[in-house]
Amino acid sequence: MQNSRSSLAALTLGAIGVVYGDIGTSVLYAVKEVFGGHHVPFTIPNVYGILSIFFWTLTVIVSLKYVVLVLRADNNGEGGLIAMLALASQAVKGKPRLRRVLLGVGIFGTSLFYGDGVITPAISVLSAVEGLEVVSPRFKDWVIPLTLVVLLMLFFVQKRGTGGIGRFFGPIMLVWFMTIAVLGVSHILQHPEILKALNPYYALGFMWTQPGTAFIILGAVVLCVTGAEALYADLGHFGKKPIRLAWFSSVMPALTLNYFGQGALLLANPEAVKNPFYMMAPDWALLPLVVLATMATVIASQALITGAFSVTKQVVQLGYLPRLNVQHTSVRDTGQIYVPAVNWGLFVAIVVAVVMFRSSSALASAYGIAVTLDMLITTTLTFFVIRYGWNYPLALCIAATGVFFLVDFAFFASNLLKLFEGGWFPLLIGGCIFTLMTTWKRGRYILNEKLKTDAIDLPSFLESVFAAPPLRVPGTAVFLTAEPGAVPNAMLHNLKHNKVLHEHNLFVTVRNHEVPWIGLNRRAEIESLGHDCWQVILHYGFKNDPDVPRALEQIRNRGCELEPMTTSYFLSRDNVVPSIGGGMASWREKLFAQMHHNASAAADFLNLPNNSVVELGSKVEI
């Protein structure tokens, strides 16, 4: 009992550090953007109304939608848009047309995640460093350079892994939430009447009397729920109970107290609108608060960067991106990975965002469209999961998701007003990623169809070969092939050039499935083809790490003996050549060919021993 309590406490502390870093730092800029950026008049009813909208936005979107409903939709214990997409596609697998549409919508939502991954670190770190301007106006020219230095250090340490510093995330963020709560209480005590804004009457009254203004400010109010998707995405790391406990016991109370404290400050001093968060603090605490805020925003950014690595790995294994160089940064925790291409791609895009927009207020205009569209997609996929996966009555499904859909749509529609002010930037990033994903998926389909057309039936081929067998040499040959039952090009080349056949031959196909994990007990299927030849199919989930040698160890007692020292792995390296009149536009075929050429080595992706790999190339026109 004691161990389970200490484990729950540790997981809850971890959730505070990793899951809630993003939403926890939104207090830096959310209120400032609503009052300062949208010129809402400083009347007492307006302050009450907007604070009430803040509180009920947190309650409806985070507490009810994500914490209560969406966290229930776990995919074998895993969460996130990819896990939700897999659940939804499996739920409607009997409806192929609908399934294709949902897959397209889900992959587009995943692409938008990268747009969020650029804007969030940029606005978080920049808003924290902007506190220096409150300390002294002389520091204004240092804000951009210091922000870029902090970001460079953050991305530079990624290759070393986060295991060492990760243990400090929870305690630092706990100090952060305690600090923002104390700051809020100190001002609420001076104007306790501000707590009346907890009543939804004030939110509804503001929207009723000023519907146009209310609709416009939703684009800034959404800043208070930045990072809400992380609740679901980190489900597999922490579990439902710690995430829920962290939210209701620490995070939401601290956020509410701070937002209401900022409201109380504005009632007393409307001039504080230029940076209400930092102006809550006494002069002696300003510099320490800037340091603590910078640490908190770095932690919030770290969680998003780690999420980008994880999502990329999952998307690669689902077949929507080419193989990338994935480095494991921890021996014990397989979830800790580093993807150099994603790391430095994000860094370059973030630097562009910081230099181009130059302030957190300008970045706030770019923020929102991608996030609210992702929220809308999550709600849509949730409907199909509970309707077709859980078989709940239609009326209940509409009631459960309909309100959230309308709320998400209202926020999305409001953010569309910021499209030309900067909202185009994350959409452009998401659109580019979506183009890459769909091009790769379509190109792989065309390539596989071409290979199938030209393929030779494996059982028939083996019968003809063994009618007059070539010289057989000791050892085992493992031929990696995309489709079971087809003769690998590598085998044809080996027979043509070396004129030998190994004593044992395995034809191995690796299949990735739309589930997070597949256990070792379901990893390998084996079928004897005679003449000491076997067809092997290896199954992996999108969160499993492919490891062919380890998986093949399981078939030792099923008629096939493998000795690592005498086993060779034969791979076909296809050189894709675009042709006129193919299955895609010419530019997409060229893009696919370039992506195929730049894909990381299959041997590394499948964890094959480098000194036992033989690659044989061939040209394929698409």
**pLDDT of the residue at 581:** 63
CB 542 within 8 A of CB 513: yes
Bridge pairing between strands 327-328 and 337-338: antiparallel
Distance between start and end Cα atoms, the chain: 61
**pLDDT of the residue at 395:** 92
**What is the token pair recorded at 576?**
């894709």
pLDDT grade for 332, boundaries at 50, 70 and 90: low
* C-alpha triplet 243, 23, 73: angle, nearest 5°: 40
Angle between helices 96-129 and 286-317 (to 10 degrees): 160
CA distance 219 to 413: 8
Bridge pairing between strands 500-512 and 533-540: parallel
CA distance 298 to 196: 34
**pLDDT of the residue at 335:** 59
User: What single string gives the DSSP state of each residue in 375-387?
Assistant: HHHHHHHHHHIII
Per-residue pLDDT reduced to its tens digit, 444-502: 888 888 877 777 888 888 888 888 888 888 888 999 888 888 888 888 888 888 888 88
CA distance 383 to 210: 32
**pLDDT of the residue at 431:** 93
168 vs 130, residue with greater confidence: 130
CB 344 within 8 A of CB 156: no
**pLDDT of the residue at 455:** 79
pTM of the model: 0.85
**pLDDT of the residue at 37:** 63
- Give percent above pLDDT 90 in the chain: 31
Per-residue pLDDT reduced to its tens digit, 24-83: 999 988 888 888 765 677 788 889 999 999 999 999 999 999 888 888 887 777 778 888
Per-residue pLDDT reduced to its tens digit, 354-374: 999 988 888 888 888 888 998
**pLDDT of the residue at 6:** 64
Sign, Cα dihedral of 605, 610, 613, 616: positive
Cα dist from 129 to 81, 279, 377, whole Å: 31, 14, 33
Q: Which of 197-201, 247-251, 434-438, 555-559 has the lowest mean pLDDT?
A: 555-559
Angle between helices 96-129 and 340-357 (to 10 degrees): 60
Cα dist from 345 to 117, 308, 341, 350, 508, whole Å: 11, 11, 6, 9, 34
Q: Three-state SS for 282?
A: coil
- Give percent above pLDDT 70 in the chain: 95
**202 contacts: CB under 8 Å, gap ≥ 6:** 45, 48, 49, 51, 52, 196
**What is the token pair recorded at 434?**
């979506």
Mean of the per-residue pLDDT values of the chain:
86
Q: Length of the chain in residues, anyone?
A: 622
Helices (H), 80-142: 81-91, 96-129, 131-135
426 vs 73, residue with greater confidence: 426
**pLDDT of the residue at 173:** 92
User: What single string gives the DSSP state of each residue in 308-344?
Assistant: HHHHHHHHHHTTSS-----EE--SS-TT-EE-HHHHH
**What is the token pair recorded at 165?**
């510093």
Q: Considering only CA atoms, which of 232, 210, 185 is closest in space to residue 72?
A: 232
**What is the token pair recorded at 470?**
């070539």
What string of H, E and C letters represents the secondary structure of 1-38?
A: CHHHHHHHHHHHHHHHHHCCHHHHCHHHCHHHHHHHHC
CA distance 106 to 441: 14
Angle between helices 586-598 and 424-454 (to 10 degrees): 80
**pLDDT of the residue at 566:** 84
Bridge pairing between strands 500-512 and 471-480: parallel
Q: Three-state SS for 253?
A: helix
265 vs 483, residue with greater confidence: 265
Q: Considering only CA atoms, which of 529, 523, 448 is closest in space to residue 485?
A: 529
CB 298 within 8 A of CB 305: no
Q: Which domains does the chain have, with CATH numbers?
A: 2-422 (1.20.1740.10), 449-621 (no CATH)
**pLDDT of the residue at 9:** 84
CA distance 604 to 549: 12
CB 386 within 8 A of CB 397: yes
CB 276 within 8 A of CB 32: yes
CB 603 within 8 A of CB 613: yes
Cα dist from 10 to 243, 249, 335, whole Å: 11, 14, 18
pLDDT greater than 90 at residue 237: no
**85 contacts: CB under 8 Å, gap ≥ 6:** 102, 103, 106, 107, 109, 110, 381, 514
**What is the token pair recorded at 509?**
């196909």
**pLDDT of the residue at 163:** 57
CA dihedral 214, 216, 221, 222 (to 10 degrees): 130
Q: Which amino acid is at 595?
A: M
pLDDT greater than 60 at residue 1: no
For the segment 208-235, the average pLDDT, to the nearest whole number, is: 86
Q: Which of 8-12, 179-183, 382-386 has the lowest mean pLDDT?
A: 8-12
CA distance 463 to 52: 77
Backbone torsion region of residue 558, taken as left when φ is above 0, otherwise alpha when ψ lies between -120 and 50, otherwise beta: alpha
**What is the token pair recorded at 98?**
């609908």
Per-residue pLDDT reduced to its tens digit, 510-535: 998 878 888 888 888 888 888 888 99
Question: Exposed, middle or buried, 563 (CB in 10 Å: 0-12/13-18/19+)?
Answer: exposed
Q: Three-state SS for 541?
A: coil
CB 419 within 8 A of CB 369: yes
**pLDDT of the residue at 259:** 96
Percent composition of the chain: helix, strand, coil (DSSP 3-state, to 5): 70, 10, 20
**What is the token pair recorded at 167?**
């243990």
Q: Which amino acid is at 535?
A: Q
Q: Considering only CA atoms, which of 198, 195, 259 is closest in space to residue 224?
A: 259
